[in-house]
Amino acid sequence: MPTDIEISRSATLKPLTDVAADMGIGEHLIEPYGRSVAKISLDAIEELADRPRARYVVVSSLTPTPLGEGKTTTTVGLGQGFGHIGHRAVIAIRQPSMGPTFGIKGGAAGGGYSQVAPMESVNLHLTGDLHAVSSAHNLLAAMLDNHLHKGNPLDIDPFSISWRRVLDVNDRDLREIMTGLGGKPHGIPRQTGFDITAASEVMAVLALADSLPDLRKRLGRIVVAYDHNGIPVTAEDLRAAGAMCVQLREAIKPNLMQTIEQTPALVHCGPFGNIAHGNSSVVADLIGIHGGDYLITEAGFGADMGAERFFNIKCRASGLTPDAAVIVATVRSLKAHSGKYKVVAGRPLPDEMLAESPDDVHAGSANLRKQIANIRAHGITPVVAINAFPSDHESEKQAIVDIANSEGVRAAVTSHVAKGGKGAAELAEVVAEACEEPSHFHYLYDDSLLLEDKIDVVARRMYGADGIDLSATARKQLDSYQNNGFGSLPVCIAKTHLSLSADPSRKGAPTGWRLPVREVRASVGAGFIYPICGDMRTMPGLSSRPAAEHIDIDETGQVVGLS
């Protein structure tokens, strides 16, 4: 099989105005950025409003291994698969972060014959949206430190400052830093640090705003610190929100691309799954929902996290109602959930995991069953997509089908990486069937519930916990958020994505445990409260052999080493 980059380069791509036309988007709404990407004006939301509404499908997964189970490739493949069965689909995916691309991944535009093309654009800068997020975020940081330096008229408590800085790079040495050294002309010494840009609240804001004015308002609401009386200090108070919005006025427009089979692809925003909602943008979906028969959108991590946040955070912001949810499952992930094997990021699978063993697959079924229940808890019909790998045995894939069917859930094997849309045609058929079932979509909890109770509901109903244990700090923070008027926000629980529990080593569907909440933070601009349950890394590091070492240009100026 050719490499990802070879497949991407050999694809025949349509002019983007034709791709847009397929979605009903006129040329006047399209701004080209290079030859293979275009930004879509937000006027498209209103102009397309009278077109028929697409079926809305979210792609999530069972609890993944550290290798990932192929949600992005399945999203791309499913979009292409609909084309093969005569339907028009639009896909919506997140923009990958350059940090991991040059760190461990080497790229994230899909893979094999299910890719968004050209993959160099997706993986490198795209239209600069992530950089605009960094700029806006760091302008606010500079204005905050400048405020302290110029006499601190707002009486900010320096020890309450939660606003760090961001860069789109894997750089562990920036996690904890001291700034403002060198004497009085150079600022006020303070301990702080950098997160990766995807972890910026500005990214979450951009992904959840439904218009430019809404973006402006959300930016103004960002809380960066508290004054000495405990009153929140916002980006608006620092007079930074207007300039931040100006820096983001192009970034809020979704990026239109296409898959290698010419399926329209919206690539927009990438909020970090660890501490934010991990979904692509609301505006992309508001455009895509009128762009075809099906809109396939991706949610990060397992269904307990990505899909739960999709339902309770993103759909709350967009007002859109999903029709079905795909749960991506793999033979290797179900085997891993048997608890018999240890899968490590960046290393090949253990040999014994490759031997034929449908029993191991069945031994890991509890996780898949739980994730199916998690989708149903929101009134949505699940579909299991079995993402086939060359090393899978037929009996193992059939075991997953059997597990799904025993839960009354449709399932299909999909070989979109090896075969493109043709390989996902059966999956598209069963997703289409699922979409015809009545949707009874509802949120998991009311806005009016206490924050503590919202966390408890998610922990019990999604994760299978017996309850939550708040630290003294967490309790104090929750009280403060309730008192400051943030109590009506939804919650975005920051826990490991490698287990339904808060302990990444516990596989399957653990029971008899409680969710420990160490502290709670607030993304008031984005519009959620995020309890921290475990060590959440917000700035990755590089390995001994970063992917960057093998990325280069060749003699003809072509990029090599991306995947």
Smallest gap from residue 403 Cβ to a second copy (A): 39
Gap between the Cα atoms of 314 and 203, Å rounded: 13
Tell whether 419 is in a known binding site.
no
Distance CA 510, CA 490 (A): 25
Residue with tokens 């920051």: 494
User: What pairing do the DSSP bridges indicate for beta strands 381-387 and 410-414?
Assistant: parallel
Do residues 344 and 65 touch, judged by C-beta distance below 8 A?
Answer: no
Question: If binding is defined by CB under 8 A, does position 187 make contact with a second copy?
Answer: yes
Tell me the C-alpha distance between 442 and 465, whole Å: 21
**What's the min distance (Å) between Cβ of 550 and a second copy?**
8
Task: Out of 343, 463, 542, 563, point to the residue binding a second copy (CB under 8 A).
Answer: 542
Q: Does 536 bind a second copy (CB under 8 A)?
A: no
Task: Compute the distance between CA of residue 63 and CA of residue 38 in angstroms, rounded to an integer.
Answer: 34
CB closer to a second copy out of 275 and 542: 542
Among 60, 135, 200, 523, binds a second copy (CB under 8 A): 135
Residues 375-414 contacting a second copy, CB under 8 A: none
Q: Decide if 60 contacts 302 (C-beta within 8 A).
A: yes
Q: Does 195 bind a second copy (CB under 8 A)?
A: no
69 is in an annotated binding site: yes
Element (H, E) at 19: helix 16-22
Q: Does 180 bind a second copy (CB under 8 A)?
A: yes
Q: Which of 85, 104, 154, 212 binds a second copy (CB under 8 A)?
A: 212
91-120 residues in contact with a second copy (CB under 8 A) are 98, 102
| Residue numbers 3-62 binding a second copy by CB under 8 A | 31-35, 39
Site for a second copy in 464-493 (CB under 8 A): none
Please say which residue, 174 or 492, places its beta carbon nearer to a second copy.
174
Among 240, 257, 325, 526, binds a second copy (CB under 8 A): 240
Cβ-based nearer residue to a second copy, 49 or 142: 142
Candidate list 15, 213, 230, 467; residue touching a second copy; CB under 8 A: 213
Please give the structure tokens belonging to residue 107: 């790229």
Listed ranges 87-95, 210-218, 348-356, 417-425: which one lies at the site for a second copy (CB under 8 A): 210-218
Q: Which two tokens stand for residue 443?
A: 């949120």
List C-alpha distances in Å: 135 to 92, 313, 371, 380, 495.
25, 25, 38, 39, 28
Stretch that binds a second copy, among 4-12, 88-96, 140-148, 353-361 (CB under 8 A): 140-148
Nearer to a second copy, 356 or 549 (CB): 549
State in angstroms the smallest separation of the CB of 179 from a second copy. Answer: 4
Q: Give bridge partners of residue 71 from the DSSP assignment.
A: none
Contact predicate 383/434, CB 8 Å: yes
Region of 73 on the Ramachandran plot (φ > 0 left; ψ -120 to 50 alpha; else beta):
alpha
Polymer length of the chain? 563
Which element (helix H / strand E) includes 472?
A: helix 472-483
Instruction: Tell me the closest approach of the beta carbon of residue 239 to a second copy, in angstroms.
Output: 4
Please report how close the Cβ of residue 247 comes to a second copy at its closest, in angstroms.
6
Give the DSSP letter string of 386-399: EE--TT--HHHHHH
Closest CA to 427 of 85, 169, 187, 163: 85
The set of residues, in sequence order, having a beta carbon less than 8 Å from that of 21 and lying 6+ positions away, is 27
Part in contact with a second copy (CB under 8 A); list of ranges 18-26, 209-217, 448-456, 510-518: 209-217
CB closer to a second copy out of 221 and 309:
221
Q: What are the phi and psi torsion angles at 182 (to 5°)?
A: 95, 0
Q: What is the distance in angstroms between the CA of the first residue and the CA of the last residue of the chain?
A: 13
Query: How far apart are CB 203 and a second copy at their closest, in Å?
Result: 15
The reply on whether position 177 binds a second copy by CB under 8 A is yes
User: At its nearest, how many Å lie between a second copy and the CB of residue 385?
Assistant: 33
CB 147 → a second copy: shortest distance, Å? 9
* Minimum separation from the CB atom of position 441 to a second copy (A): 32
When binding is defined by CB under 8 A, the residue of 190, 217, 340, 461 that contacts a second copy is 190
Among 20, 109, 141, 400, binds a second copy (CB under 8 A): 141
- Contact with a second copy (CB under 8 A): which of 61, 127, 281, 477? 127
**Residue with smaller CB distance to a second copy, 2 or 128:** 128
**Residue in the block written with tokens 């529990």:** 501
Q: Name which of 122 and 493 has its Cβ closer to a second copy.
A: 122
Cross-strand pairs, 328: 61, 385
**Number of residues lying near a second copy (CB under 8 A):** 75
With respect to a second copy, which residue has the nearer C-beta, 28 or 476? 28
CA atoms within 13 A on the CB side of 61: 30
Q: Among 46, 176, 394, 437, indicate the residue that binds a second copy (CB under 8 A).
A: 176
Binders in 241-270 for a second copy, by CB under 8 A: 242-243, 245-247, 249-250
Three-class DSSP labels, 165-214: EEECCCCHHHCCEEECCCCHHHCCCEEECEEEHHHCHHHHHHHHCCCHHH
Which range in 173-181, 260-268, 325-333, 436-444 contacts a second copy by CB under 8 A? 173-181
Q: How far apart are CA 288 and CA 57, in angstroms?
A: 11
50's CB contacts (< 8 A; 6+ apart) are none
Where in 144-163 is the site for a second copy (CB under 8 A)?
A: 145-146, 149-150
